[in-house]
Chain A
Amino acid sequence: MIVVRDPALAADARRERRFFLSLSLPALFIVGLAAILPILWIIRQSFLTTGGEYTVGNYQKVLSSGLTWSALVTTLELSLGTLAGCIVLGTPLALALASVRPRLANVLMAFVMLPLWTSILVRTYGWLVLLRRDGLINAALTGSGLTAEPLPLVYNFTGTLIGMVHYMLPLFLLPVYAAMRDIDPNLIRAAASMGATLRQVIRTVIMPLSAGGVFSGSIIVLIYAIGFFITPAVLGGGKVNPLSTRIERTLSTFQDWGSASVLGILLLVLMALIGVMLLAARRLVAQNTVEASHA
């Protein structure tokens, strides 16, 4: 860092800094116009009647409705279910990918990332085809005699959850895989040479050292999952109604902008709560990791 003492040069440096700052203005302006202003507008709208007068009636109406609370519960169930699904399916896959040579792992990762680059609507359609009553999976199940009747796999909670886990899994996998790749193989060799069993190595070396990655992955899953709209709207078949689909219905079907806004604010509050809890949890994880590495 060069320390500028000449006042003329200092003024010049300040001018240059202002110039560089101004280069961000177009991008910041568009964020203000298309993201921040809309969120502020939702807050404003939540206090307006259809006639445009200020009221708290929207809040009373929405918060006293049983539908709101069941939407909140569904949102949490879907989010936590998605998180559980991602951890159960993603962590072993990340471990397997991290345990092969980088070249092979890169090729396999490309396949894992394929769904990430497929439109959510294409994937939802794919799941509809697979999970329907006369779909591929039910045909295989009844055909092989595993089940007598086709299982109800779609247009319900199960179908929605499958679609959401499928959507979030690659995004969860990325940080977990990165964390596992970063583990020094010498640590595992050292543990093995000292007589640790595979189970012990997984528990005392791999799990603590990949906790940070699992944690980042979980944050990503939760942040996306609480606002998910397309998957519940299509695979839920109208029977699975988290906050997002309730917002849509309140807005499009009932034209009730005030109530839709209150539901939107509930979603914002939920996001903030999850954010705060995750920050607190991150501290705990960091502490435990430090303790584990000192133990």
Chain B
Amino acid sequence: MLEAYPQNRLARILLWSFAALVMAFLMLPTLVVVPLSFSASNLLEFPPQAYSLRWYENFFGSATWMAALRTSLILGTLTALIAVPFALLACISMNRLGGKTAAAIQSVLLTPSITPGILLAIGLFFVLAAQHLIGTLFGVLVGHVVLAVPVACIVLLPALARFDWNQVQAARSLGANWARSIGGIIVPQLRISLLSATLMAFLTSLDESVISIFIASGRNSTMPKLMFLSLRDQIDPTIAAISTLWTVIVVAVVLIVTLRQKS
């Protein structure tokens, strides 16, 4: 864009040094955690004097962390299994209705994602408390589904826009009912987008922390909730090991999604 200004070399060098610094700022906190997780020492020393896997052993040997990991994985799976079908139906509806109706539906579905998490969390806390459902998996699940639906919609809406609706009409005119048209035509053709949407919904739940902090408790504590509590209390390298594993999982999921979409 700035190639019309070859004479301003100094300005360009300054711009790029600044940009490099900002990019370092962005990546540093994620990357610094990795070497620490392999440290042999109790202290957070950098670079570590000796390396070991003891913090990973600590994590996998801890009943509390394993329970939280299990809860998070179950919650993520359930969230994806509920949010993606809901999102697919809503996207078909928006795609067919079009115009103001579709825009209205979309803005309602997006409301939860722009509402501060803390408000959703305490509101949900009150509602669940009235039904004696605090600390249950159900309460957190509802909160995660509502956050995952818009995420899945963002993946599915453009995919549906590319879908040729005449195929459904052909199927309908040949006597297929709606369930069959959706299950037999739309789902197989959108399978890649549906897989992406599923992974993204799973990730949304896995990553959600504020609702979990307020609603999940005891046996149903999620990984983010437990991490939050241990960050407040003490910060030993076990958290570094967990953080590294967590980041690897997330980056792997994102890579699968992006590579799949390209192919």
Residues of A within 8 A of B (CB): 17, 19-24, 26-28, 30-31, 33-42, 45, 89-90, 92-93, 95-99, 108, 111-112, 114-115, 117-130, 132, 134-136, 139, 166, 169-170, 180, 183, 185, 188-189, 191-193, 198, 201, 223-224, 226-230, 233-234, 244, 247-248, 251, 257, 260-261, 264, 267-268, 271
Contact = CB atoms under 8 A, between A and B. Distances in A.
A26, A92, A114, A119: most-surrounded residue (chain B CB, <10 A) = A119
A248 B118 contact: yes
Interface string B1-36: 111110010010001101100110111111111001
Contacts of B243: 119, 121-122, 125-126
B23 A93 contact: yes
A28 B109 contact: yes
Contacts of A183: 1
A214 to B, nearest CB: 16
Contacts of A139: 46
A23 B142 contact: no
Interface of B: 1-5, 8, 11, 15-16, 18-19, 22-23, 25-33, 36, 44, 46, 85-87, 89-90, 92-94, 96-97, 101, 105, 108-109, 111-112, 114-120, 122-127, 130, 142-143, 145-146, 149, 178, 207, 209-210, 214, 224, 227-228, 231-232, 235, 239-240, 243, 246-247, 250-251, 254
Contact of A17 (B19, B97, B251): B97
A121 B127 CA distance: 27
B83 to A, nearest CB: 8
Given A26-B89, A129-B44, 8 more contacts: A21-B93, A34-B142, A117-B251, A121-B224, A125-B33, A126-B28, A127-B29, A166-B26
Contact of A95 (B15, B94, B210): B15
Nearest to A192: B4
Nearest to A230: B209
Nearest to A226: B116
Contact of A118 (B16, B101, B124, B247): B247
Contacts of B251: 114, 117
A31 B23 contact: no
Contacts of B5: 192, 198, 201
Contacts, number: 256
Nearest to B119: A264
A30 B105 contact: no
The A interface is mostly helix, strand or loop, or mixed, namely helix
A35 to B, nearest CB: 4
A66 B12 CA distance: 49
A95 B18 CA distance: 11
A264 B101 CA distance: 31
Given A125-B231, A233-B232, A130 B32 contact: yes
A185 B122 CA distance: 49
A271 B116 contact: yes
Nearest to A22: B93
Contacts of B122: 38, 42, 247, 251, 260-261, 264
B18 to A, nearest CB: 5
A27 B90 contact: yes
Listed from nearest, the 10 A-B pairs whose CB atoms lie closest are A227-B116, A38-B123, A126-B29, A192-B4, A96-B19, A23-B93, A27-B90, A34-B146, A122-B243, A24-B93
Given A34-B146, A95-B15, A111-B27, A129 B36 contact: yes
B27, B30, B178: most-surrounded residue (chain A CB, <10 A) = B30
A67 to B, nearest CB: 17
